Structures are given as C-alpha cells and as structure tokens.
Structure 1
Amino acid sequence: MDQFVLWGIIAFAVIVLGRRLYVYFHNNRQSHHSLRVRIAGKHKRQYRPRRSNEQTGAVPKKCDYYVSFSPLDGGTEQAFRVSEHLFEQMHEGNTGVLVIQGSRFIAFESDDVILDND
C-alpha cells in the first residue's frame, strides 16, 4: 500500500510539472498579440506563506494581484497576475492596449496616459 501511495504522489508531481513546462514552452512559441481592452476589474488574493517549524513569530500575509481585461470588440474576459506596482497604476474602466504572449501578460499601455510638458 505504501508503494502505491508513493507512486501516486510521484505521478501527480510529474503531471503538474509537465503541465507547467508545457504552458511555459507553449507561451514562448507564441508571438506577441495586441488587443484593445477595458479594465473590467481588479482583485487581490492574500495568503500566508508556508513556514518551517523553526519559525515562531507571526507570518505576514502575502498578496497576489490580478487585473481582469475585457476586449472592446467582444470576446472572453481574461485575468492576469501583475505586480503590485502595475496593480496600483491601473484603474477599473480604463481602456488601452493589452499585449499578451499566449496566456502570458506582457504589458498594458493605457489610453489615459497624462503627458507632462514641464
């Protein structure tokens, strides 16, 4: 029974790793694609990172930041994980050009950029 569980865990790990590698290499083979979009929403996901038994203090929460984009000419809304810096700069309802590579977020160029002429 113990060997069955061990092989099950190994098979699961191989499947998860294989899927991640497939997505990574699939995205790398894709060309950059631009879409006119509107920022449909923003949200954070907080979590507590795993800690070893040696740590005794309170573990601070970590955040992942997500922004949802809706294509202006129809299509499926997509959400991408972004950095905290980009998350704070983006505002719901703004429009612009979303640059993606496969399912990977590359950039968002907002139409609402204010140029400073000083």
Structure 2
Amino acid sequence: MDRFVLWGIIIIAFVVVGQRLYRHFYDHIQPEHSLKVVITGKRIQEFMGRTPKEETELPPPRRQFYVSFSPRHEQEREFQVSEHLYEQLILNSSGTLVFRGRRFIAFEPDDISLDSD
C-alpha cells in the first residue's frame, strides 16, 4: 500500500512539473501580440505563509497582483503583473497591451497631453 501512495505522489509531481514546463515553453515560442485595450479591473491575491509552532507571529502574506484588460470585441484577459506596475496602472485607462501566449510583456498607455499651469 505504501508503494502505491509513493508512486501516486511521484506521478502527480511529474504531471505538475510537466504542465508548468509545457506552459513556459509554449508561451516562449508564441509570437508577441499587441492589442488596443482598456484596463477594466485590478485585484490582489494573498497567500498566508506557514509558521513553526514555536513562533507566535504570522509572517507577512505573499501577494500576487493581477490586472484585467478588455480589448474591443474580444474576451477580457487577465495577467499577473509586478507590484510596481500594478500601482502605476489606472482603471479605465486605455493603451496597447503587449503579450506572448499567456505571459504579460508590457502595457503602453495612450499619450495624454498634460496642461502645464
């Protein structure tokens, strides 16, 4: 029985690693695409860390930042971005989204003329 559990864990590990490698190489061979989009949403996903039983304080949560882009006449797309970029992007702003497969490359906002007072 223990051998079946061990082999089950090994098989699951290979499947998970295989899927991640496939996604990485699949995204790598895809051509870059550019789309005119509007930023339609932003969200933060937090993951709590584990602590040893002796420690009483929880570690700070790990955070991932996501931004949703909506091109005209196409399905909305969501990409994980850095915290720095997440803070810079403004909802409902328009620009050009550059991506490769499922991987975010860049967002180039439309030029906005600034009035100098």
TM-score by length of 1: 0.88
- Tell me, which stretches of 5 or more residues in structure 1 are unaligned? none
Question: Number of paired residues?
Answer: 115
In 1, distance between residues paired with 2:112 and 2:48?
35
- Shift, 1:48, TM fit: 1.2
User: 1:45 aligns to what?
Assistant: 45
2:105 alignment partner, SS class? strand
Q: Percent identity?
A: 48
1:8 aligns with 2:8: yes
User: 2:18 aligns to what?
Assistant: 18
- Tell me, which stretches of 5 or more residues in structure 2 are unaligned? none
Moved more, 53-62 or 88-97: 53-62
Structure 1 residue ranges (4+ consecutive) displaced by more than 4 angstroms after TM superposition = 112-117
Tell whether the 8 Å contact from 2:40 to 2:69 is kept in structure 1 after alignment. yes
Q: Which amino acid aligns with 1:33?
A: H
Tell whether the 8 Å contact from 1:95 to 1:110 is kept in structure 2 after alignment. yes
In 1, distance between residues paired with 2:89 and 2:114?
16
In 2, distance between residues paired with 1:43 and 1:86?
13
The alpha-carbon distance between structure 1 residues 80 and 71, as it changes in their structure 2 partners (threshold 3 A), is same
Q: Which amino acid aligns with 1:8?
A: G
